[in-house]
Amino acid sequence: MTITKDEYNLWLEDRTTKKILAILKDKKESIVESLAYGQTLYESSSNRTVIQTARAVGTIYGIDQMLNYQPEATDE
């Protein structure tokens, strides 16, 4: 399934879309900040540190995929 550039731009202008994108940006900033402050580091458990850090990095990656999405060029 593809989305044309026109469809994508129309979607971007929607008020609800703008709210959702702002929420995602805030969430990403919050997670980045928590990593910077070491909130995923656990002295008592290296396993927990790895899991929590990987989860945070994966969430950041997923949010970035959504925030940086660009429609593919189509022949339409």
pTM: 0.85
pLDDT at 73 over 80: no
Report yes or no: 31 and 59 within 8 Å, Cβ to Cβ. yes
Residue 44: the pLDDT is 96
Domain locations in the chain?
26-68
Closest to 21 measured CA to CA, from 59, 69, 55: 69
pLDDT at 74 over 90: no
Tokens 């026109």, located at residue:
6
pLDDT digits (tens, 9 = 90+) for 5-58: 999 999 999 999 999 999 999 999 999 999 999 999 999 999 999 999 999 999
